[in-house]
Amino acid sequence: MEPEFGLVKLLNALGQSRENAGLVCGHFASRPAKHPGQLLIGIIYLNRKQFGKAARYFERVVSLYSLAYDTSLSLTWTYLPLGKKAEARALYNKVLLIWPNDTNALAGLKRL
């Protein structure tokens, strides 16, 4: 798993998101239990501003791992451009249960 993360970070740094997405999606898309891989796919789509696709991967991880801090926070950032403010608010509050006084979650709640 670690070599894939290294390659993904390298391709991302080089701005080769198409190759990055192909590598990650091909390797992890059929493995929903692989939390880090699903998170990476969601981040790739989030960076591409493909919020609907990103949300699907983040939602999959959150449904499997309800206390996944990074994924829950990423899903809130995905929900905002999709206009899902109620869902984002609920997730920000959930993030605060996981990590009290989290500055990202508190700032997100203020924006709503």
Q: Where are the domains of the chain?
A: 2-111
> Is CATH 1.10.1040.10 what the domain over 2-111 is classified as, yes or no?
no
Question: How distant, in Å, are the alpha carbons of 5, 13, 33 from that of 93?
Answer: 30, 32, 25
User: pLDDT grade, residue 58 (50/70/90)?
Assistant: very high
What integer is the mean pLDDT of 34-52? 83
**Burial class for 32, CB neighbours closer than 10 Å (0-12, 13-18, 19+):** middle
Tokens of 107: 């700032």
pTM of the model: 0.72
Quickly tell me which residue has 């960076």 as its tokens.
Answer: 47
What pLDDT, on the 0 to 100 scale, is given for residue 48?
A: 87
What pLDDT, on the 0 to 100 scale, is given for residue 36?
A: 72
What integer is the mean pLDDT of 70-89? 94
Tokens of 79: 């929900």
What integer is the mean pLDDT of 58-75? 89
What pLDDT, on the 0 to 100 scale, is given for residue 89?
A: 96
